[in-house]
Amino acid sequence: MTARLLEVADLSILYDGRPVVQDVSFAIAPGEVLALVGESGSGKTTTAMAVLGLLPPNGRIARGAVRLDGTDIARWPERRLAALRGARLSLIPQDPVTSLNPVRSVGAQVAEVLRIHGERDGPGLRARVLELLERVGLEPAALRAGQYPHELSGGMRQRVLIAIAVALRPALIVADEPTSALDVTVQRRILDLLDELRRQDGTAVLLVTHDLGVAADRADRIVVLRDGRIQEAGPVRQVLAAPRSAYARQLLRDAPSLTTHRHRPAASGGDLAVQVRGLVQDFPGRDGAPFRAVDGVGFAVRQGTTHALVGESGSGKTTTARCVAGFLRPTAGEVLVGDTDVTALRGEALRHFRRQVQLVYQNPYASLDPRQTVARIVEEPLLNFEPVAKAERLRRVAAMTERVGLPGELLARHPRALSGGQRQRVAIARALILQPRVLVLDEAVSALDVTVQAQILALLEELQRGLGLTYLFVSHDLAVVRLIADTVTVMLAGRVEEAGPVEQVFQAPRSDYARELIEAIPGRAAPQTLESVP
Amino acid sequence: MSGAALPLRAGWPRLQPGLLLACAVLALVLAWAIAPGLFTARNPVQGIPGAQLLPPSWAHPLGTDGLGRDQFARVVYGARESLAGAFVAVAVGLVLGTGLGVLAGARSGWVDAVVMRLVDTLLAIPGLLLSLSIIILLGFGSIKAAVAVGIVAVAQFARLSRAEVLRVRASDYVEAAYGSGGRFGAVLWRHVLPNSLTSVLALAALQFGSAILALSTLGFLGYGAPPPTPEWGLLIAEGRDFLARAWWLTTAPGLVVVLVVLSAERISRAIGGART
Amino acid sequence: MGRYLAQRVGQALLVLAATFTLAFLLLQALPGDAVLIKFLELGLTPEQLADIRIAYGADAPLWQQYLHAMGAFLTGNFGYSIRAGVPVTQLLAENLPSTLLLSALAFAAASLLALVLALLATLGGQGWVRALVRSVPSLFIAIPVFWLGIMLIQVFSFQLGWISIISPEPWEELILPVATIAVPISAPLAQVLIRNIDAVLAEPFVTVARAKGASHAWVLRWHVARNALLPVLTMAGVLFGELLGGAVVTEAVFGLNGLGGLTQQAVANQDVAVLQAIVVISAAAFVAINLLVDLLYPVLDPRLARGRRTA
């Protein structure tokens, strides 16, 4: 660690005068990968964008230096910085879908970085663009160059952005959550590609991620941020094996991908609470031909256990769950909840059935009416069935909110005045107030930070034990599934790829796809001494 | 429970100077409309012989017109005409338009198709031509002009309220409300209408300003209230004959219209901005 | 694509038919004999009157009259003006060109004004300049068109004496009317442009472009321009309506000949045939403009282009 490519020293950043990054210092050597790890609001992205001089208009660097090869560029004017960007420093952004201009072809957007830095239009430019597209695995390159972003998948778009970032062989690439919007298998391939390219070019990477597993796999060193301050920094192995700060320890304990032990007893068999047989769901397709989202799916869940539906986007897992919850009427097949066939229910019968099965949504903010107070939200289901006296309703609301760990003073608040975790607790309380037998959890913890996620998962465990609830747990995150589920169905393109007890599927997957999925869980490079973490 | 909690209530808009001013302007004009006698002792219809076309002075803050009538009194008394007309117009547009829009948005299917084609038809005819056509049918007069302006606004209210209902209907919280056993009527009442309302109210405030503009235009063209009535558009039309000699006759009523419309727009923005 | 086209054209025709029906009912709602009495006042001979009666089909049942009128409209026969006693087509031919010229000039001026306002509001100098420019469109919308015309005459003709109103040159005559129409039209255009530019500047792809080393001007040229301008196309129909309304009022203020004067006379005299023709024709233009925009959009926006292979 003699040569320092980038050195960030005592950096403090204000948004509208409010500090968001305080006294952050770290250095990156040529060819090194440094991971900035933290939860939302930790200042990790802000720090990374400050390196590029791309803070939003309301942000400014209050103190500190950003030295590139020893020269402080933190206060350089826009014009000088622009000359560095794309050439010496480059960016791989977070969301590939919105990060490409929708009305320009892929080739034009790759060519742009070359043109900005002086390359002339012509056959030479085109050849370089095609070469770059080939380098990131977009083939046939000539076809891809002529396509528009919406014609490419998310993973392919991220490859285009990587091609742009490596085009001029910069010394440092800032990769801001480069794969968090992608499916886990795609994530792995994209990170592999990035690894390969940076090794070839000797490029250093500043990797911003919320996922300790990704950091563990890909980085040389880690900087852990919280509320704009550094909590811990050091080589990956050291930080993961023996974290010194309390926060890093908590982060490690809560990160599902780094936890190998299960804290739940093996499933005890009750009666079958949910049975799905031969489920088929067609949607009207683009050109009249129906699109089959779910194709012959079947599984059964025992009372009091958790069954996980796992798959990547487009696997049909959410569609299946919505059929179980009675929000979709399947094209064919049976959904039995207890002895009731949900698919046969209409009108009032369906309305009364809803007491049995409740759905918890991925985005708690969208699933709570912004105009209602917490008390009103949790109370509402009680108004839909046989009258309950007001005093009794309020008593039940108070009891249920307390049960899910919401302090009483939050009852009068509106959803926007709650944190993400609190909102999800409200959604769970609303779902439970009718005392359902089955809870369908549709990516219910996916939008939450890991420490909050761990709290909600613990709450779900506790509620299941206390109330004998049955969970249908829909998730793309295998690490979480491994923690919470008893049985699992792995889905791909509307079909069941593999099913069985969680231990069995994870230890000895029989299908290629399940194996690929499991191997793609980040964090495999992490030291396996984690169970000793207190 | 970590994760940054949002500020407690973004709720009602913080009172900004511009907004305060807008409210003050509308309050003043409303007061003119309700009790014009409190603001001027002059008669708006009866002129003073020998006092024609006097420039602004202490006695006549906005001068006098060609018949010796006090222009300030005519502006103050004109508020009633304009505001009443605008209220009628907005009421017509709001009731008919929102009714149609909510119906279309809540029911979908062929009801939606029929209502939206009707709205398309209303939109296809330029606003001024549409109101003129309705006036041909109804005849001249201030209430008739107001109804005509209101019918022009129906299309906008219908489109907005339909879009809002569809937006809210597609939200997770509405599905969750059905999911917890809510009936159609209950969900509509508890969730869809309250959450669609703010945008519609913002449009109503905006349309209030537009209606004043449109009514003054009709008044100017001579299709609104008949001449002795002090109506803002009519005042400007009458003042036009003395353009070279009495600039105050056209300037003042026009400025009042501009201020009122600006204020309505400002308040509309405040209501609309309070939504998120 | 074919299906979309058919559906879209069908919709447009439906709206046109509905507009025509509305206009037709308007005619029917007025006492028909009153119309004929006016013809008598004009001193037409009974033979001429009989011709008109046949032309109107006034003796036939309502649905026959309806079909007859629709057939006449489709062949470009809009009936007779009660007041002028000449075919409506002739009146339109006399008055349409000047209004079209006025509207076209006003539209060009409004677009320019809106563009300048939008650029100043989003990229112009200091923060306070931008804030100030942002409040301009609201002001422009709040100004009554007719009053603006009068104020312009007062300032530029009477006070400053720059523009003669006694015997103006042909081009001179148009300056103030064009400004009068352009100012209010520019406001919604500027508002939408400002909103679009703000939205595009906040898009992640702009950040990516800047991370490539693009200057502000480059970002504007290659990323903001097309993305911010495209949605403005959808306003074309509404703007056309505003333009026409503005022209009607402005012609009245400046005493210009054109569609405006024609409309005013038609309303004043209950000359329904004229108003009906103007309404149906402007609705047809509106529908045609919107149809054109809808058909053009997929060509300009690759996201809507159909038949492309999705990877």
The stretches of A433-532 forming alpha helices (DSSP H) are 450-467, 478-484, 502-507, 512-519
Residue of B nearest to C262 (CA): B129
Interface of A with B in 8-47 (CB under 8 A): 39-41
User: CATH top-level class for A6-254?
Assistant: alpha beta
Residues of chain A with C-beta less than 8 angstroms from the C-beta of B9: 414, 416-417
How many domains are contained in chain B? 1
The stretches of A286-357 forming alpha helices (DSSP H) are 317-324, 347-353
Question: What is the CATH number for B196?
Answer: 1.10.3720.10
Would you list the domain boundaries of chain C? 2-74, 91-305
Shortest alpha-carbon distance between residue B8 and chain A (Å): 5
**Residue B185 sits in which domain range?**
64-274
Pairing of strands A495-501, A487-492: antiparallel
Give the pLDDT of chain A (534 residues) as one tens digit per residue. Answer: 457 899 999 999 999 889 999 999 999 999 999 999 998 889 999 999 999 999 988 899 999 999 999 999 999 998 999 999 999 999 999 988 899 999 999 999 999 999 999 888 888 899 999 999 999 999 899 999 999 998 998 889 999 999 999 999 999 999 999 988 888 888 888 999 999 999 999 999 999 999 888 999 999 999 999 999 999 999 998 998 889 999 999 888 888 877 655 556 555 667 888 999 999 998 887 666 788 889 989 999 988 899 999 998 888 999 999 999 989 889 999 998 988 898 888 888 899 999 999 999 988 889 999 999 999 999 999 999 888 889 999 999 999 999 898 998 899 999 988 888 899 999 999 999 999 999 999 998 888 888 888 889 999 998 998 888 999 999 988 888 988 899 999 999 889 999 988 888 888 889 999 999 888 888 776 655 444 333
Residues of chain A with C-beta less than 8 angstroms from the C-beta of B175: 327, 367
Of A41, A363, A367, the CB nearest to B4: A41
Q: Which chains touch A (3 or more CB pairs under 8 A)?
A: B, C
ipTM value, please give it: 0.84
What is the Cα–Cα distance from B196 to B161, expressed in whole angstroms? Answer: 7
Q: Does B128 touch chain C (CB under 8 A)?
A: yes
Give the pLDDT confidence of C265-304 residue by residue, as tens digits.
Answer: 888 777 778 888 888 888 888 888 888 888 888 888 887 7
CATH 3.40.50.300 is the classification of domain A272-532 = yes
Please enumerate residues of C whose Cβ is less than 8 A from a Cβ of A. Answer: 203-205, 207-216, 218, 222-223, 226-227, 230, 301-303, 308-311
Tell me whether residues C18 and B121 touch, CB distance under 8 A: yes
DSSP string, B26-84: HHHHHHHHH-GGGT--S-SSSPPTT-TTPPS-SSSTT-B-TTS-BHHHHHHHHHHHHHH
**Nearest CA to B78 among B41, B23, B29?**
B29
Of C15, C158, C245, the CB nearest to B124: C15
What is the Cα–Cα distance from C82 to C129, expressed in whole angstroms? Answer: 55
Of B5, B171, B180, the CB nearest to A366: B171
Residues of chain A with C-beta less than 8 angstroms from the C-beta of B172: 361, 363, 366-367
Residues of chain C with C-beta less than 8 angstroms from the C-beta of A101: 205, 209, 222-223, 227
Q: Does B50 touch chain A (CB under 8 A)?
A: no
Q: Which residues of chain A form CATH 3.40.50.300? A: 6-254, 272-532
What is the Cα–Cα distance from B211 to B216, expressed in whole angstroms? Answer: 8
Give the CA distances from residue A485 to residues A246, A308, B168, in Å, rounded to whole numbers and listed in that order. Answer: 28, 6, 34
Q: A473 pairs with which residues across the strands?
A: A308, A441
Asked if residue B102 belongs to a domain, the reply is: yes
**Nearest CA to C216 among C115, C135, C119?**
C119
Pairing of strands A18-28, A6-15: antiparallel
Total-model pTM: 0.82
Rama region for A12: left / alpha / beta (φ>0; ψ in -120 to 50; rest)? beta
| Optimal mutation site among C145, C150, C152, C154, interface B, most CBs of chain B within 10 A | C150
Give the CA distances from residue A309 to residues A162, A296, A300, A478, C64, in Å, rounded to whole numbers and listed in that order. Answer: 32, 14, 11, 10, 66
Tell me whether residues C26 and B244 touch, CB distance under 8 A: no
Of B1, B6, B190, the CB nearest to A452: B1
Q: Does A371 touch chain B (CB under 8 A)?
A: yes
Residue of C nearest to B140 (CA): C268
Residue of A nearest to C204 (CA): A99
Residues of chain B with C-beta less than 8 angstroms from the C-beta of C286: 123-126
Interface of C with B in 144-183 (CB under 8 A): 144-147, 150-151, 153-154, 158
Rg, C-alpha atoms of chain C: 24
**Nearest CA to A459 among B18, B87, B1, B193?**
B1
| Optimal mutation site among B172, B188, B193, B196, interface A, most CBs of chain A within 10 A | B172
Q: At what angle do helices B248-273 and C145-152 cross, to 10 degrees?
A: 140
Fold exhibited by the domain C91-305: MetI-like fold (1.10.3720)
Asked if residue B36 belongs to a domain, the reply is: no
Q: Does B169 touch chain A (CB under 8 A)?
A: no
- Burial category of B251 from C-beta neighbours within 10 Å (exposed 0-12, middle 13-18, buried 19 and up): buried
Of B124, B221, B250, the CB nearest to C264: B221
